[in-house]
Every structure is written in structure tokens, then in C-alpha cells.
Amino acid sequence: MSANRTIASPLARHLAEQAGLDISQIAGSGPKGRVIKRDIEAALANPAPAPISAPTSASASAPQPTQSAAIMPPLAAARAYYQPSDYDEKPLDMMRTAIATRLTQSTQQIPHFYLTRALEIDQLMAYRGRINQALADYGEKVSLNDLLVRAAALALMDVPEVNVSFAGDAILQHHHADIGVAVALPDGLITPIVARCDEKSIRVISAEIRDLAARAADKRLKPSEYEGGSFSISNLGMFGIEHFTAVINPPQAAILAVGGPVKHLRLDDEGVPMETTHMRVTLSCDHRAIDGALGAQFLTALADYIENPILLSL
């Protein structure tokens, strides 16, 4: 039976194509002999031996695959390593499927590069303390992340070449800083977008982030509230992470990974030891749209706002 006459499910055909299998040579166990996913997995777990033939002069001279390449199974064969009784299978929901698809596309299609800088945040923490003291009567607080979002928005306005999207035949330079803030949920990660952060106060940004995070947890966000955007921030500092890199969220061209505060000792101008607090941030850039010098300029602008936080309210 030829491949185009074999009865198979779309998923089985897709898995067979990815694994390089001839689906016409696979016996189907589904209704009416239909080839289904478990048949592909069985074929991957028990590959048929290749026919032996005398090598031609061309094949003899062709480079042969290494042993590691020959035994490397495709990703679709993960179940072949385990007994079904040894694991629980949790089907992907729509959110996790979308995350897997988008991040796979991002890592495969976007040439990432990374720039890391340590920011001194003692003044920022003191500034936050004064803001929260002023907001105490209103029952409100702002977080370091709220201040970072505001600082990033202003830095994007100072270095607008980073506030872009790569569109294949053009670079889209955005007029406003629409910043996605990564929110961890029990079944995935979502990045709701705070629009026009360059035009909003810290207090308004803080209130919008709280509202978006709450509605994200309840799965009440509209697609327009988490799709698009011009930049993202992912902060894992509250989990004790000091440094990491983040995957760009297309169609954006950059994302900032933020680590937690760390105490350091340094000498002041008179040689006296003093303790300072630093936070490491890493900018992931799409090299098709942003080069190293531009990324460095953005981090310099960001450092100016973080280390001189009075600028955030001007």
C-alpha cells in the first residue's frame, strides 16, 4: 500500500514525518487499520532492521553517521524509555500547548544573544520605601518589579531602537512601551501586557499589574491583553534566583530577565568598606533587529533610572 493511501490520523502522519518513518510500512491498530499515535511510538521503540545491500562506490565514499547520531531517538519517542505504570500522563492544555509552540518557534527562529549588567539598587529600595509609606493610608504598595517596569519604559523611550519587532522585511519601531510582565500560573506562564507604560505613573502601573495578574490566575484575560506588546520583563528574584536568561516572546525583539538582590562589599572613595545591594539583569535580544551596542545603550539607560530613581517620577 502506498503512503498516500495509508489510513492514518493527522497526528500519526506528523509524528512519522518528524521521525523519518515510511507510514505505509507501519501496521495500524486503530479502527479499520488506521495508523494512530501508539503505532508510531511502537515503531520508534522497535525499529525494523535496515536491509543489507552491497555498498556502491558512491555510498562507500559517503560520510557515515556517527554512532551517537545513529542511536539518537526523536523527541516524539519519550514514552519508549518508561513503563506506562511508572508515570502519570498529563495532557497539554491549550495554554501549555501555546507556550510550547511559541517558545519552540522563538528558540529555533530568533537568533538570541545576551547582555548582563549588575545594577546597584540601594537608592531604588529606599525610594520604594518612601512611596509605600506615602501610600500606606490608601492600603496600597508598589513592588520593585513595578519600579522596574516604569524604568524599562523610560529606557525604551530613550533608546527606541530596542522598542521594536522584527517583521521579516522590516523592523517595526513602536511608539509606546507596551510591556509584558511574566506571571507564573499553576499550569503555565502568561505575560499580560501593561500598555503605554511610558505615559503612566508608578502607582497606575502597579495597580494594572495587580489587576492583570489576578485576572490571569482566573483565566479571564482577553487575547488583546497578552498578545503583542513591545518588550517583556521576567522577574524570578522572589524565588531566590540571582541570574538567568529568558526566551524572547515573539513578536517582541527583547526581554529582560531580573534576578534577586544580593549584598556586596565595596570600597567607597575614601577606601572605607561599605555594603551595597546589587541586582543582575540580563537582556535577551533578537540579533536580527538589535545589535550589541544598542542593547548595551538600553542597559545603560536602565541603570540611570534604577540608580537615580527620582527620575522615575519626572
- Max mean pLDDT among 14-23, 52-61, 88-97, 259-268 falls in 259-268
Pairing of strands 231-235, 254-267: parallel
The DSSP string of 114-154 is EEEEEEE-HHHHHHHHHHHHHHGGGT----HHHHHHHHHHH
The DSSP string of 297-310 is HHHHHHHHHHHSGG
Per-residue confidence band for 174, with pLDDT thresholds at 50, 70 and 90: very high
Pairing of strands 231-235, 179-181: parallel
pLDDT in tens, 110-137: 999 999 999 999 999 999 999 999 999 9
Contact 245, 284 (CB under 8 A): yes
The candidate with the shortest Cα–Cα distance to 205, out of 253, 158, 140, 249, is 140
**Is residue 4 over pLDDT 70?**
no
Q: How far is CA 233 from the centre of its chain?
A: 10
Per-residue confidence band for 2, with pLDDT thresholds at 50, 70 and 90: very low
**Is residue 172 over pLDDT 90?**
yes
pLDDT in tens, 217-271: 998 988 889 999 999 999 999 999 999 999 999 999 999 999 999 998 887 777 8
**Is residue 20 over pLDDT 80?**
no
Task: Write down the pTM of the prediction.
Answer: 0.74
pLDDT in tens, 55-83: 444 444 445 544 444 444 455 577 888 88
Residue with more model confidence, 172 or 14 = 172
Q: What are residue 184's DSSP bridge partners?
A: 189
Question: Which residues are tagged catalytic?
Answer: 287
Residue with more model confidence, 281 or 6 = 281
What value does the mean pLDDT of the chain take?
Answer: 86
Lowest mean pLDDT among 171-175, 187-191, 228-232: 187-191
Contact 268, 290 (CB under 8 A): no
The DSSP string of the chain is --GGG--B-HHHHHHHHHHT--GGGS---SGGG-B-HHHHHHHHHSPPPPPP-PPPHHHHHSPPPPHHHHH---GGGGGGGS-GGG-------HHHHHHHHHHHHHHHHS-EEEEEEEEE-HHHHHHHHHHHHHHGGGT----HHHHHHHHHHHHHHHSGGGSEEE-SSSEEE-SS--EEE-EEETTEEE--EETTGGGS-HHHHHHHHHHHHHHHHTT---GGGTS--SEEEEE-GGGT---------TT-SEEEEEEEEEEEEEE-TTS-EEEEEEEEEEEEEETTT--HHHHHHHHHHHHHHHHSGGGGG-
pLDDT for 76 = 54
